[in-house]
Structure 1
């Protein structure tokens, strides 16, 4: 921690010391001034914003795709640091926190996968950075460092963007070095409650007339939101413990009092942030026909996972607290290299090669039982469950080669080849003890996957025929082949052998040496090909209007699961009509889309118990057709000193298909599974249930106004609020505990920018009302009174702080 802070402090000090001196010693070039004027014009004229949703630069208002474009200015003002922070800026997008891995999973238009955090599962919302696919869900919790903008493509993007973009794709674009822009940069420091602090800086370094570099770094941290409960006063006296233990049939000679020192009382708290990132980018342009962007990015996360909290705390306990017997731990490190080369190889033809490599490793420790049940003796009532990732390692690389037309043509076309490969391994231990960790074994498992290999190859093409000056017809297709292999994966389960002491397994122990036996072998291979396609027609309604209609398909690979069984791929067909309009000389835009989606073989995944008593992650496909219908609208206004946004999502229909009983160890379900079931949990018929994370209505309103002061400075208040109607948090639709009721969550800020636009001060409050908003739920604990105790993860409580930013 001190080393990272020192390095960032030195870098920031150097920027502060050298920046103004260099800036004072040279005037901005005409090109610099033109670039700044152009950027200012684009902020005010919204119809000038360009996107790359079709893998070519096109104006947002003339792109017949449901795409949300979020500028760097908006990312800054909304304090967007991770993917979850952009949820309110995109219609239909939801981000859900997931516990033991400390990750964020995404849902778009009601389609998503809460268990995409494992080595088995893939997301339905694909994420790309500078065109490079990011396969791990953990990346969604990474810091968004020095971004130029974000595009969120809604609806299946299987033709141009590939598999696992079933529900959509999120494309991040990093800020690139500026060869002709001279030496300049920016920085920011901030501080807030929960001991929040942050520092970030970026600098452009011109090297020659053909080469430039850009260096950016960031560190963000805050204390955990979840306090530790004191076990004293909650745990019964020793005499009562003895009586409870004997009443449960315990051996009098084996009794021992509960050791309260086993409960965590100090150290890092759950829901803490401690993240650092740095990127070095290079741009080389030796001629007008060739451009090469290359970057290396480092990310480290030493924070803690988010904690499951009791929705209804025990009397006398604070809401943001838990009775913890497993100290939080998180250690994630990522190294990424991204490369893009563009060649203009002839008149009107460009060849692009995009490549990426990532090495990610992670470890974590997590209190899965969340302290819901207070132990009545060392071996009764309570549960000790530790979810421990001893190690997880992922290596991935990808290559994409695109050949496309440029300029104005009667036929715009693109052809592409794609290949990606990932190799990962993981060991995940789950000791579950009765009462406390001193108690007897309830069940223990050790999941060791030495090699999981995922590869995909694809060929694709898309063409747009300009039928006339105002009519266009687009068709595209992609053929993908996916292969997944689990080599040597073994699930170990506790054998209840009396020859072995009943102790939680330690990270360095081999399961076979301490009383475990093999419960499942996971060797399996999945291999399947699938085409996806797109047909679209769009028409200009004059210079300021566009309408379009499309039919497109998306696809997510099937795969292997615990025990070596296979699950099917899921497919989505999307029917969509949309319109885009600009008014007031481009200062007001209104973009909307209506869609109807039909999903087949929708994949469910959850921790389950098998007939032999072993635990694992089970996958299943929902029969029939899962259907989603909705409407989205984005209204944006920017003129003079006023800016406003209104973002609406309406999803009146989001029903699961038929013929599916579901189970999950995260929920207590009283009904037995049908005889044909391969799991022994109790089950629930979820046919026709609502999809989770899909509120009927979601509405975001943002407004800011510049008050120009007498000295030329600007005072800018900004109001941002989001309303969401009630939504289910799982496909069980399991009562009030499994639902987030409707809510309004608001943020405010006040920024002063000095007259020369060299620095600013910004004060902010997020979650002004300190509302408690669930992002997930679980209800597996049956209390003595017969009710189910639900736990949830929550969006952060009220936070506030001050930022000091500068440009040079």
Structure 2
């Protein structure tokens, strides 16, 4: 891996720049609770006091309320927990939130999310929208690529489970994740923190943040991070696997090859050096500003830039060939990834009067990226340079996603008989992409095309408009009734989009399409799909909820809520319908032992109509595209979630439980996916070449039982320092990895995956040091699956996996 010295050196310089006394976060507090008189990882100022568990506040209802008094299924993950659990990306959140699963996609390198069994593995690129919406400082992140970024200098994460169609709106069908970045503090003075880390796979990372008060009305905060490690997947030696030259010639001639054109396979065609698949090389920086000229007005403004020069994750054979290591592959396409993302976020708050506040939240993002990926996964070994295998390179030549949004919220503040909020939202996207798929017979330079295509979408736009309102009537001191409505209008357009497919013209040289080649009949391509289309629709979502206090330390609630995700356009210019979800839920929140123990539980039943499933498909004429299907009827999910948190002076523990016994698909007779070769031939009316009936199948990524347990204890040493061991483990029962439910290869069996850490904090809380082991059992946990049809009629399954065992050391300081 190449070391990006600029980001690393900036972080180290910030760590060492101040002569002020160092201070570390205090492990004596509950996970996620800042130490007394010490700034936490987020924005906590030095004069903040220790918070009890029942004092943690959330903004799930778009107003600050205590977690234990908020009648919503929401998990609040605080900066200390993010740090100690080494949460670097959205995917790392899954073990901390009941019902949340994440899958890393290969060829696009995106993370797709599933909540309570509802999600879509192929909700990626410029096409599909996620069922789980992500927001950063209230600004919606529309594309799945945003979930692959680093979590930098966070003040906390809130995960709202169930449809959030009223207040949070767009594409929050199954839930929403709200990230809050650390904000500048005018009154706290100059302070900061820094951390460095090293470990196996040449892991090196550094991060730092400083608070910079400029005047009594203006402050800034600067945060930087860099993280890198080598790839997990080794390159297999092709010479030990390729057949002899005589065997190659025999196979070539048996397939009808021209003896005059035979040539031996060149082993140098296979990648043997350079960056490996599964490598990280990411950097990010954020500059935040706070201007507060009066108590009635404040303006938070930030700009964040993220770059990714790592590599995509490789799909690995579940059963490696004899003599090959598990974490290895026969690679003929070198990994490549180049991403840049710049985001501007703004929030203005005006206290119009003692009882009313107006907020304006706006954001702009420009994402650009390109990549290439070995889609054939090295499963098949060619028998000659033109036979015995298919070599496939999935290549994003270019992608550009631009989006901006505006939201106005007007709400009541203070104690009111009726708490209310009304708002308006407008969001716009302008996206383009070119994606090539050269598939060659044998090796990638065989001069024999199996099929290849180029998908060029020069302009795809999304326009979303919404108006919403929600009110809570305090019927008495202990009973509250809430109702909410949201009207959403979505317009999507594909302008001049074209899918180009291989025409099999024998007079054209059969070579892989190059990024510089524009497809045309002159170089062997015909237009396979004309994708011009326009989609427009509007829907109303709503919420009804009743909650009541149970004594002084308890809360019960019951709610019915709906979520909506718009339909859209797809390849060939056809449209797919919107999906809707109705969620019935009852929940409870209790506090025990004078705030040392909290217990939150929710039971739910979800009725999901017209669930959108998308997948890469093959049309009857042999060309390919990305197709969408709406699952007819109702997809039904029922489950139970529970979160238990405990803290006292030296002990802290968490239990997170998800139980999903029911997760049945509705009716879908023609489901296809090129990721699963060997599906039966499909009926002509289906419009695709291969498919199967998945009606009534179980939803993927929805284990019956998922349980996470975390425990840490402080040992006080004779010198006044503290030694804190920490164990974190997750158990999940078996789960399907696709809607096809195809057997053991399409399943992750029940597993346990655990992490260990040991932290020393010096007596004056100026610095801390830690050692960690993640996945200490070195378990192999699949997050997705696909299969290849082999020449002997069998199938070889491949999967994306969570990382192998990793370990390292950390050093952190406060100043």
Specify the TM-score bucket, using the shorter chain as the normaliser: over 0.9
Contact 2:8 2:205 in 1 (8 A): no
Q: Does the 8 Å CA contact 1:19/1:184 hold for their aligned counterparts?
A: no
CA contact (8 A) 2:354 2:414 kept: no
Residues 1:3 and 1:523: Cα distance change in structure 2 (over 3 Å): same
1:245 is matched with which residue: 235, 252, 255?
252
2:739 to 703, 719, 731: 731
Corresponding residue for residue 26 of structure 2: none
Contact 1:31 1:181 in 2 (8 A): no
Instruction: State whether residues 624 and 659 of structure 1, in contact with CA within 8 Å, keep that contact through their aligned partners in structure 2.
Output: no
Structure 1 match to 2:28: none
3-state SS of paired residue (1:180): coil
The secondary structure found in structure 2 opposite 1:684 is coil
What is the rounded CA distance, in whole Å, between the counterparts of 2:39 and 2:392 in structure 1? 59
Q: 1:777 to 1:448 in 2, by over 3 A?
A: same
Structure 1 residues 30, 374: closer, same or farther in 2, change over 3 A?
Answer: closer
The range that moved more, 524-533 or 654-663, is 654-663
Between the aligned partners of 1:509 and 1:140, the Cα distance in structure 2 is 31
Is structure 2 residue 610 aligned with structure 1 residue 588? no
CA deviation map 1:473-531 (0-9, x unaligned): 00000000001000000000011111210000000011114211111110000000010
Matched residue, 1:542 = 551
After TM superposition, the structure 1 stretch with the greater mean CA deviation from structure 2, 1-10 or 373-382, is 1-10
Aligned residue for 2:164, secondary structure, equals: coil
1:627 alignment counterpart:
636
SS at match of 1:498: coil
CA distance in 1, matches of 2:463, 2:44: 42
1:146 to 130, 146, 153: 153
Which residue of structure 2 lines up, in the alignment, with residue 13 of structure 1?
13
Counterpart in 2 of 1:749?
Answer: 757
Kindly state the Cα deviation for residue 802 of structure 1 after the two structures are TM-superposed: 0.1
Report what 1:714 is aligned to.
722
Where do residues 198-597 of structure 1 align in structure 2 (5 Å cutoff)? 198-439=205-446, 440-512=448-520, 513-597=522-606
1:160-199 equivalence runs, <5 A? 160-199=167-206
Post-superposition offset of 1:5: 1.5
Cα distance in 1 between the residues matched to 2:472 and 2:529? 51
Once the two structures are TM-superposed, the CA of residue 10 in structure 1 deviates from its matched residue by 4.0
Q: What per-residue deviation string (whole Å, max 9, x for no partner) do you get for residues 42-85 of structure 1?
A: 1xx10000000000000000000000000000000000000000
Structure 2: distance between partners of 1:348 and 1:713? 48
Shift of 1:22: 10
SS in 2 for 1:752: strand
Relative to structure 1, is the Cα distance of residues 540 and 526 closer, same or farther in structure 2, using a 3 angstrom cutoff?
same
Secondary structure of 2:165's match?
A: coil
CA contact (8 A) 2:238 2:330 kept: yes
Q: Which residue of 1 aligns with 2:797?
A: 790
Q: Secondary structure at the match of 2:238?
A: coil
Aligned to 2:625: 616
Aligned residue-pair number: 800
Alignment counterpart, residue 651 of structure 2, candidates 642, 651, 668: 642
1:91-112 Cα offsets, whole Å, 9 max, x none, are: 0000101001111110000000
- Where in structure 2 are the equivalents of 1:754-769 lying within 5 Å? 754-769=762-777
| CA distance in structure 2 between the aligned counterparts of 1:106 and 1:233, rounded to whole angstroms | 39
Match of 2:56 in 1: 49
Of the structure 1 ranges 392-401 and 252-261, higher mean CA displacement relative to structure 2 is found in: 252-261
Deviations 1:116-160 (A, max 9, x none): 112110000000000000011111110000000000000000000
1:605-627, Cα deviation, whole Å (9 max, x unpaired): 11111122110000010111100
Answer yes or no: is 1:77 the counterpart of 2:84.
yes
Deviation at 1:12, TM superposition (A): 2.4
Q: Counterparts of 1:505 and 1:444 in 2: how far apart (Å)?
A: 8
**Structure 1 residue 15: Cα displacement:** 3.9
User: Which has the larger displacement, 378-387 or 7-16?
Assistant: 7-16
Deviation at residue 11 of structure 1 after TM alignment: 4.7
Normalised by the length of structure 1, the TM-score is 0.97
Higher mean displacement: 8-17 or 722-731? 8-17
Question: Secondary structure at the residue paired with 1:644?
Answer: strand
User: Within 1, Cα distance between the matches of 2:518 and 2:125?
Assistant: 22
Secondary structure of the equivalent of 1:662? coil
SS at 1:87's partner residue? helix
Are 1:669 and 1:684, in contact at CA under 8 Å, matched by a contact in 2?
A: no
CA displacement at 1:37 relative to structure 2: 7.8
Q: Distance in 1 between matches of 2:112 and 2:22?
A: 44
With over 3 angstroms needed to count, the CA separation of the structure-2 counterparts of 1:3 and 1:649, relative to structure 1, is closer
Tell whether the 8 Å contact from 1:661 to 1:687 is kept in structure 2 after alignment. no
Cα distance in 2 for partners of 1:745, 1:22 equals 35
What is the CA distance between 1:36 and its match in structure 2? 6.2
Matched-pair contact (CA < 8 Å) for 2:14–2:208: no
CA contact 1:623–1:660 (8 Å) conserved in 2: no
Cα offsets for 1:666-721 (capped at 9, x unmatched): 1134422123211112x111000000000000000000001111221110000000
193 and 124 in structure 1: CA distance in 2 versus 1, 3 angstrom threshold: same
Alignment partners' CA distance in 1, 2:499 and 2:554: 58
Q: What corresponds to 1:698 in structure 2?
A: 706
- The 1:3/1:632 distance shift into structure 2, 3 A limit, reads closer
Residue 20 of structure 1 aligns to a residue whose secondary structure is coil
Unaligned stretches of 5+ residues in structure 2: 24-34
What is the distance in 1 between the residues matched to 2:207 and 2:53?
A: 28
Please, which moves more after superposition, 393-402 or 5-14?
5-14
> Is contact 1:115-1:606 (8 Å) kept?
yes
Counterpart for residue 131 of structure 1: 138
User: Structure 1, residues 562-592: CA drift from partner, whole Å, max 9, x if none?
Assistant: 0000000000000000000000111100000
Q: CA RMSD in A?
A: 1.7
Q: Deviations over 1:229-268 (max 9, x none)?
A: 0100211111110100111111112211111111000000
Any idea what the Cα deviations from partners look like across 1:7-62, whole Å, max 9, x if unmatched? Answer: 53145224413242799xxxx999989976875521xx100000000000000000
Q: What CA distance in whole angstroms lies between the structure 2 residues aligned with 1:495 and 1:703?
A: 61
1:555–1:569 contact (8 Å) kept in structure 2: yes
SS in structure 2 at match of 1:624:
strand
